[in-house]
Amino acid sequence: MMQVPRKKNLKKGQEVGVFDVPLGVAGSPNDDPVVVSATVDTGAIHSVIPASLLAQLGVQPADRFLYGLADGSEVEYDYGMACLTLQGFPSFYCPVIFGTENQFLVGATTLEIFNLMVDPVDGALIRRVPRARPF
């Protein structure tokens, strides 16, 4: 079997496609964001922020949904909208799940809203060129 050389920035033991990014979280665009380290998880539909932090920032649950987990189980979580900031781009309201303590994930809908895609080898988010149909 041929061995592919390891990328220089991929540390031994680090999984390809699993990396953290700084994520700003606020209740509104006028508020200063709290910056946290969040794991990029393309398998998660929505971003996950601890419920206690969202409450502290004044973010209220809009509804409660049943979510399927990777292990096949289902769990109900509160769901709402928080103002998120990624990679220096202007902040956007994004759907968030009210998670448990120390659970910070950037989900697929947040990446779509920011027009970002994952470079799993380099462990980075890169700007995606949106595609549109001509009218």
pLDDT tens-digit map of 27-59: 999 999 999 999 999 888 999 999 999 999 999
Instruction: State the CATH class of domain 38-82+94-118.
Output: mainly beta
Q: Is the pTM of this model over 0.85?
A: no
| CA within 13 Å, CB half, 87 | 16
The distance between the two most distant Cα atoms of the chain, rounded to a whole number of Å, is: 55
Confidence of residue 70 (pLDDT cuts 50, 70, 90): confident
